Amino acid sequence: MKFSILVPVYNVEKYLEQCVDSLLDQTYTDEYEIILVDDGSTDSSGRICDGYAERFPDKVKVIHKKNGGHTSARLEAVKNANGEYCLFCDSDDFVEKTLLEKISDATDKYDAPDLIAYSFNYFRNNRFCKKKETLSDSDRLYQGNGKKELYEALISTPLLNSLCTKAVRTSILKSDPTDYKKIYGKALAEDAFVSVYLITEAEKTVFINEHLYNYRTVSGSITNSFSPESLNKKNTLFLYDRFIEYLPRWGMDTEEYRQKLNARWLNETMYTFSQYYENAMDSKNRKAVLCYDWSSMLPDEVRSGKSNPYENKVYREIYNNLIDKKFYRIKIRFLKKKIRKLIKKLLGGNK
C-alpha cells in the first residue's frame, strides 16, 4: 500500500463529511487507507466516523481515544499507518480529487523521494482563494546542498509549516524520537515543530507547484474580545528553541540566520498585536491589548532591542513603544491608519 491518510477528528460534525468524501473521491485507483482518529469528540463526529468505517471497511479505519489534542491524535494515527507514505488532513478541510494521483506521479518521476510538499487554496465563505506565495514557481527537487533553501524557508517564512501539505515517508515518521508531549495543546505551531524534524531527515524532498489541499478559514478569526489566556496559547517560543537546536545541524548557526529568525519572531508577534488592537471591540479591550506582556512571546535577543536589518521597522517601533509604555504613540499610529483606510474607501466609492 502506498498511502495512508491521517485525519485527527474533534467536534467537526459540520464539516467532517465533506472532508472524508473528498478523501474517498480520488482519481488514484490503487489501494490506500484513511485513518480517522476520533480525539474524544463530544458531538456526532465519532458516530460519523464509524458510519464511514461500516460503509468502506476496506478503506476507512477508526480509532477512538481520549482527548489529547491534534498532535496526540496524529501520533496515534502514525502508529497504525500501513502505507509507504503518510498524508495529513485536518477534519474541517478537504482535498482535490487528484491529490493522491499527483503525489504518486511525483514519487515515480523523482525516484521515491522521502517527502513531497505541495500548495493549498484558502476556502472562505464558500469561495476558493489560491495562496499567492509558494515555495517555488515550478516543481523542484531539493537534495544535498540544495536543502539549504528549505531550511531558509523554514527560518524566514511559514511556507513549510503545515503538515497538511506534505506526504512523508512513513518510516521517517515512525522513527522520530522527539517527545511531542511538551507541545500538546500548542496548536499554533505544532505543525512547524514537527516539520523541522521531517524536512531535516528527508534526504530527497520534492515540491509540486499545484494547489491540492483546501484549507478552510473563518472570517474574523481574531476575536473582538481580548483574552490573555487565549493569547498565551499563541506563544511559540518552544518552536524558536527548536530552530536554535537545529541551526548547527543545518550548518547555519551564524549571526545572519539568527537575525532572520529573531526578525520573524518580532514581525509575527507584532502583527498579532496589531490584529488584536485593531479588532478590539472597545477601549477596555484595547487597553488590555496594550498592557499585555508582549515581551513574554519574544526571545531574549529580540527583547534587548538590538539592531536587526531583517526586522520590520514599524513593528520594532511599535514594540519599543509598548515596552516604554508610550501608548499614546501607538494610539496615534493606528488612528492615522484608520483614517487613511476611511479616506481610501471614500475616494474609491466616488470613482
Question: Residue 314, SS3?
Answer: helix
Give the pLDDT score at 351: 43
Give the pLDDT score at 222: 61
Here the contacts of 53-57 (C-beta below 8 Å, separation 24 or greater) are: 56/24
Residue 304 CB partners (closer than 8 Å, separation 6+): none
Q: Which CATH number describes the domain made up of 3-216?
A: 3.90.550.10
CA distances from 158 to 150, 151, 152, 346 (A): 11, 11, 11, 34
Give the pLDDT score at 224: 65
Distance CA 76, CA 181 (A): 12
Cell numbers for 256, please give them. 545572519
Give the pLDDT score at 226: 81
Give the pLDDT score at 344: 87
* Beta strands 115-124 and 94-95, pairing class: unpaired
Are 115 and 206 a contacting pair, CB within 8 Å?
yes
> To the nearest 10°, the Cα dihedral for 74, 80, 81, 86?
10
Question: Residue 88, SS3?
Answer: strand
Per-residue pLDDT for the chain (351 aa), expressed as one digit of tens each?
999 999 999 999 999 999 999 999 999 999 999 999 999 999 999 999 999 999 999 999 999 999 999 899 999 999 999 999 999 999 999 999 999 999 999 999 999 999 999 999 988 877 888 767 889 989 999 999 999 999 999 999 889 999 999 999 999 999 999 998 888 877 678 999 999 999 999 999 999 999 999 999 865 556 667 888 888 878 899 999 999 999 999 999 999 999 999 999 999 999 999 999 999 989 999 999 999 999 999 999 999 877 799 999 999 999 999 999 999 999 999 999 999 989 988 887 544
Domain boundaries, the chain: 3-216, 228-349
Residue 134 CB partners (closer than 8 Å, separation 6+): 119, 159, 209
CA distances from 122 to 129, 208, 216 (A): 5, 17, 6
